[in-house]
Structure 1
């Protein structure tokens, strides 16, 4: 078997998500909780305009989900605690040599390094559950990993960060070579590009320790969209400058030098907790469209749409307010997971 992860630009069978439930991520108080439910529902309902959506729902939230979600959205009840589907769910792959073959890589999930605050034991089982619902062949992996920690170009190259894949709280003692071998086995990649770190905010107590999907993504083979923080007051100004210099010196699996396109952050530097990580890189591709994060800044949101429309020609770019999602530690890409279309 030669499993391979398609680029996110490939056609999708559907998009998988998980509906929020009460707990530390959703937050305390009815107003805060309702804002979280509404943010997840808005993303799901927008995606449903482009492609089918399947939503995993904790039994305690089934009635609420049915009330808030478009009637076309398919619900699958299962116990869960965390609801970042990109991280708790499987990574879908295909086997080009076997028509109709769909695989689901079931990474080990330990709550982004088993921090004391995290509630993850229930959602750690969702890789298996979602794979089964999708009628995919389960591909177990011993690697502690999350979908937000990797990006592929569909042509053999994968982007990762050292601070996630080599995190001693995730994979103690792991070497680059061991991680690369497991990514090759499960995703079919032949070239791993190691970025030293992710965005500043992602290293606080509730962060992921540097998920790549907040900072860089392939828009096509050979082309990377990179988070750009133009304000030198923000620590990500230096972070993204260093990452750009590295990426411009890299080649991909096919030997191409990388083109890097800046995707500027909105001119919002702080929230009540400190420097923000508002990133338009954390968009998700859907069939014939792009769902972009919005941050309530009309000009910056519009500029991001223009850049994304040029990077993904022929797709309609739609902005969904992502402030409530970012307030909980991630963005639109983080709460979604595409299931690729397979040809019979």
Structure 2
């Protein structure tokens, strides 16, 4: 054990890190696509900035566009980028044994060496963020992304079999090898293995099953779970599998997990096929929750669940459809930096 521990997302935060969309997959193929991407990333940044400072990493080629879209209160750091999914390309912040903030720099290889991905720049972004944040770097030999883990702050972590044990990420790694590395880097004393992620996220342009659109901890002992209620959607059996896995699981304290269903949107398909729209993919920030909205009747119920599960926090919804059309959501484009804790 190293004394490192990843705090819950509900812990106080010093800032939130993001990356501005750059040429390639996230910007899209047309000028209108590019403006939509910039507008959406900026809307999330401005929503977050009402609760915590935001630092945006921007490719040098995109600084003029970023300045056009971002308010003066959002700090800009220049660094070459391939894409804009800061949750995955950035570091994972943890506390050391004294409560100081430290950052885990995972290996990033384009979500398992996807043939459409480029990561020569993105593989270096965690080091840029660590330097700019002025914190100690903890290296890891494991290929991992921030969207592939969710913690309760007490040593429990949710993962999926299809990410950390993906043969294109960590060939030959056993469960115990993954668990040992998660213990060393984020202080995970108990790993809850979920069988897989959502259907579209397992297709060509997905992550192969990130947990952050499937389940998360709003508080210790409670798990918000993506609940696809329509049997016509292929995620209906996925939801059932996840529920079964969680029914059989306990947390790091040995206590059973209480599940809280978070309804999937009623919309089943978009122009590309079955949607993986998920209200689970929200960001918790000081005093607030930045929630996904989809122009869907379930937006109202989902926001009510989030208000109940995060009492005292304001729920602010941002239209996440342009994000999911590009492969992710609000949680995927943000990465929180926790505040230091005196005398942990």
TM-score interval, smaller chain = over 0.9
Structure 1: how far apart are the matches of 2:280 and 2:123?
26
Structure 2: how far apart are the matches of 1:159 and 1:21?
31
Tell me if the contact between 2:202 and 2:208 (Cα under 8 Å) persists in the aligned partners: yes
Structure 1: how far apart are the matches of 2:128 and 2:159?
26
Is 1:288 the counterpart of 2:302 in the alignment? no
Structure 2: how far apart are the matches of 1:241 and 1:162?
16
Structure 1: how far apart are the matches of 2:34 and 2:128?
26
Deviation of residue 308 (structure 1)? 0.2
1:184 alignment counterpart: 183
2:121 alignment counterpart: 122
1:341 alignment counterpart: 339
2:62 alignment counterpart: 61
Tell me if the contact between 2:195 and 2:241 (Cα under 8 Å) persists in the aligned partners: no
Query: Which runs of no fewer than 5 residues in structure 1 stay unpaired?
Result: none
Structure 1: how far apart are the matches of 2:25 and 2:9?
30
2:318 alignment counterpart: 320
Number of positions where the alignment pairs a residue of Structure 1 with one of Structure 2? 341
Deviation of residue 26 (structure 1)? 1.7
CA displacement 1:26-71 (0-9 Å, x = unmatched) = 2111011110111100000110011100110001111111121121
Tell me if the contact between 2:147 and 2:210 (Cα under 8 Å) persists in the aligned partners: yes
1:238 alignment counterpart: 237
Structure 2: how far apart are the matches of 1:166 and 1:343?
33
Deviation of residue 343 (structure 1)? 3.5
Matched ranges for 1:145-156 at <5 A: 145-156=144-155
1:204 alignment counterpart: 203
Matched ranges for 1:261-272 at <5 A: 261-272=260-271
Matched ranges for 1:214-233 at <5 A: 214-233=213-232
1:195 alignment counterpart: 194
Deviation of residue 25 (structure 1)? 2.6
Tell me if the contact between 2:18 and 2:54 (Cα under 8 Å) persists in the aligned partners: yes
Matched ranges for 1:132-171 at <5 A: 132-171=131-170
SS at structure 1 position matched to 2:112: coil
Structure 2: how far apart are the matches of 1:186 and 1:245?
28
1:276 alignment counterpart: 275
Off by >4 Å, runs of 4+ in structure 1:
none
**TM-score, with normalisation over the residues of structure 1?**
0.98
* RMSD across aligned positions (CA): 0.8
Is 1:332 the counterpart of 2:330 in the alignment? yes
Is 1:20 the counterpart of 2:18 in the alignment? no
